A = this chain, B = another copy of it.
Amino acid sequence: MYVTSPVSYFEPVSIDDVMHQHELEPAVYHTSTAEAGQPLFCEGDDADFVYEVLEGVVRTSKLLCDGRRQVLAFGYPGDIIGLSHDQIYHSDCDAVSDTKVRVYHKNASGTSFADEPQLCDQFLRHATAEVHDMQEHFLMLGRKSAVEKVASFLVVLLDRVGENNDCKSCFSLPMSRSDIADFLGLTIETVSRTFTKLRKDKIIELPNPHRVCVCKSAKLRALAERSS
Contact = CB atoms under 8 A, between A and B. Distances in A.
Interface in A178-228: 182, 184-185, 226-228
B10 A85 contact: yes
B143 A70 contact: yes
A120 B126 CA distance: 13
A62 interface: yes
A143 B68 contact: yes
A108 interface: no
Contacts of A85: 9-10, 125, 128-129, 131-132
A111 B190 CA distance: 42
B120 A124 contact: yes
- So how many copies of this chain end up in the complex? 2
Nearest to A68: B143
Contacts of A86: 9-10, 129, 132
A46 interface: no
Interface in A96-118: 111-115, 117-118
A131 B83 contact: yes
Contact of A113 (B124, B136, B185): B124
Given A10-B85, A85-B9, A120-B120, A142 B185 contact: yes
What DSSP secondary structure best describes chain A's contact surface?
mixed
B132 A131 contact: no
Interface in A71-104: 72, 83-86, 88, 90-91
Nearest to A90: B132
A114 B125 contact: no
Contacts of A184: 142
Given A86-B10, A113-B121, A117-B120, A139 B226 contact: no
A131 B84 CA distance: 9
Contacts of A68: 143
Interface of A: 9-10, 43, 62-66, 68-70, 72, 83-86, 88, 90-91, 111-115, 117-118, 120-121, 123-125, 127-132, 134-139, 141-144, 182, 184-185, 226-228
